[in-house]
């Protein structure tokens, strides 16, 4: 891990640049440090994990194409336990890779090569959104025509209250408490002996109440091999 290159205020936001290209790591560290950020670097997924285990970061700048465990795999694994904002750097132009990243929970993409000023603007926008989301506890979330009120655990569509079972209410509360985040199937199973296969059945039942087409869900999405997430407005 590299240290900062200039004196920064104690409240400077801390970024982690994860890229196997040492030239890009060094360039980004110098540029972002000059713009008031504290910057650490990692050259691969394992080094990034070790760094994240010991330090708290405000944002990760993560390259998609790395040898061994790539950026997409690292982002998916981090999202199971950590909601730190992630900006992906990619040379890929295909929409499929971007869609996959958004399903995982990546906050934004920037294609290589890029203008440093654009990188700076995207970082500022991500941090601003994240600060707004975490500045106050979530009281309600909206998705499509629905609104779920956390305190009353009540699902509303227009003027109608949607009838939920206790288990459906519990599932929605778990998703709404961390909107957009992936919730692992093991966490949804809980400690009451509910198996993961049973969770899948319960999710399908809940989808019938909130999805226009339960077989092609828009709001309650499956994150393959990990769990589910509620895509909110």
Q: Given a cut of 90, is residue 207 above it in pLDDT?
A: yes
Give residue 94's pLDDT: 54
For tokens 């969770």, the residue is 199
- At 138-186, the pLDDT tens digits run 788 999 999 999 989 999 999 999 999 999 999 999 898 888 888 888 8
Which of the pair, 83 or 50, is modelled with greater confidence? 50
- Judge whether 109 and 125 are in contact, CB under 8 Å: no
- Give dist(CA 4, CA 175) in Å, integer: 37
Upper half-sphere CA count for residue 150 (Cβ side, 13 Å):
13
For tokens 């999202």, the residue is 79
Give residue 87's pLDDT: 94
Upper half-sphere CA count for residue 192 (Cβ side, 13 Å):
7
Contacts for 232 with CB less than 8 Å, ≥ 6 apart: 141, 142, 143, 176, 179, 180, 219
Give residue 227's pLDDT: 85
What class has domain 14-134? alpha beta
Upper half-sphere CA count for residue 36 (Cβ side, 13 Å):
7
Reported confidence tier of residue 225, pLDDT bands at 50, 70, 90: confident
Reported confidence tier of residue 136, pLDDT bands at 50, 70, 90: low
Domain limits, the chain:
14-134, 140-230
Name beta bridge partners: 228: 183, 222
Reported confidence tier of residue 28, pLDDT bands at 50, 70, 90: very high
CA distances from 84 to 14, 56, 80, 190, 232 (A): 11, 9, 11, 24, 18
- Judge whether 228 and 218 are in contact, CB under 8 Å: no
Q: Does domain 140-230 have CATH number 1.10.10.10?
A: yes
Phi and psi based region of residue 180 (left: phi greater than 0; alpha: psi -120 to 50; beta: remaining): left
Give residue 194's pLDDT: 61
**Whole-structure pTM value:** 0.58
């Amino acid at each position: 891990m590299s240290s900062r290159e200039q004196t920064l205020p104690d409240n400077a936001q801390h970024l982690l640049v994860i890229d196997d290209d040492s030239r890009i790591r060094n360039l980004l560290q110098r540029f972002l440090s000059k713009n008031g950020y504290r910057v650490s670097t990692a050259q691969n997924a394992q080094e990034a994990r070790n760094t994240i285990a010991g330090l708290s970061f405000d944002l990760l700048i993560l390259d998609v194409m790395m040898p061994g465990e790539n950026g997409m795999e690292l982002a998916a694994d981090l999202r199971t336990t950590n909601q730190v904002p992630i900006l992906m750097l990619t040379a890929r132009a295909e929409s499929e890779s971007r869609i996959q990243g958004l399903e995982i929970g990546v906050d934004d993409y920037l294609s290589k090569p890029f203008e440093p000023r654009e990188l700076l603007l995207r970082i500022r926008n991500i941090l601003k959104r994240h600060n707004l989301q975490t500045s106050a506890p979530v009281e309600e979330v909206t998705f499509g025509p629905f609104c779920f009120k956390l305190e009353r655990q009540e699902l509303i569509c227009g003027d109608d209250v949607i009838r939920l079972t206790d288990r459906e209410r519990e599932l929605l509360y778990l998703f709404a408490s961390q909107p957009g985040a992936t919730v692992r199937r093991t966490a949804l199973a809980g400690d009451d002996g509910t198996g993961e296969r049973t969770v899948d059945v319960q999710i399908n039942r809940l989808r019938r109440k909130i999805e226009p087409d339960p077989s092609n869900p828009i709001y309650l999405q499956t994150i393959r091999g990990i769990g589910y997430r509620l895509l909110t407005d």
